[in-house]
């Protein structure tokens, strides 16, 4: 599976707890509250050639590499923090908008999707199509 046209996407899931309030919201989210967030970070690429002795052979990317990028961001800025200290209006959309450039800088050319679950049935997703490098946001 070393053909460049044969792209695979792999995803690593992370969890964090955070507090926020939405200052301009006309509902209960304007009050202080917290969420158990789930963050999924996906990268896309070809499977590297199997080479004996090469740690990441046969992989798109080592899951450890994704974790080594994402975990410090979560620990330093998100987990058990007030998201209002990070941004004025910490909607799920704005959190993803903050995360994407940070993750893109650390995983250049391979970051393909960032999905943030604010609840079990509500999420925001950013996706980059590798072929066209077009960005899309779905919520």
What is the CATH classification number for the domain harbouring 37?
A: 3.30.479.10
Whole-number pLDDT of residue 136 = 53
53: confidence class by pLDDT, cuts 50, 70, 90: confident
Helices and strands counted in the chain (H then E): 2, 6
Overall average pLDDT of the 66-79 stretch: 98
Domain count, the chain: 1
Q: Looking at the DSSP assignment, which residues form a beta bridge with residue 19?
A: 34, 82
Residue range of the domain that includes 69: 7-138
Overall average pLDDT of the 65-76 stretch: 97
Whole-number pLDDT of residue 54 = 74
Per-residue pLDDT tens over the stretch 25-40: 999 999 999 999 999 9
Instruction: Give the pTM.
Output: 0.86
Is 2 within the bounds of a domain? no
Overall average pLDDT of the 97-103 stretch: 97
Instruction: Inform me whether the pLDDT recorded for 93 exceeds 70.
Output: yes
Number of Cβ atoms within 10 Å of the Cβ of 74: 19
Is 1 within the bounds of a domain? no
């Amino acid at each position: 599976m070393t053909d460049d046209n044969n792209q695979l996407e792999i995803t690593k899931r992370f969890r964090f707890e955070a507090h926020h309030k939405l200052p301009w919201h006309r509902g209960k989210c304007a009050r202080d509250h917290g969420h158990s967030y789930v963050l999924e970070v996906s990268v896309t690429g070809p499977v590297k050639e199997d080479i004996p002795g090469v740690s990441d052979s046969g992989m798109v990317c080592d899951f450890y590499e994704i974790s080594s990028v994402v975990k410090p961001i979560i620990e330093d800025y998100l987990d058990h923090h007030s998201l209002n200290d990070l941004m004025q209006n910490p909607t799920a959309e704005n959190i993803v908008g903050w995360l994407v450039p940070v993750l893109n800088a650390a995983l250049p050319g391979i970051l393909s999707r960032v999905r943030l679950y604010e609840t079990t049935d509500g999420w925001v997703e950013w996706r980059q199509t590798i072929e066209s490098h077009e960005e899309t946001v779905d919520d």
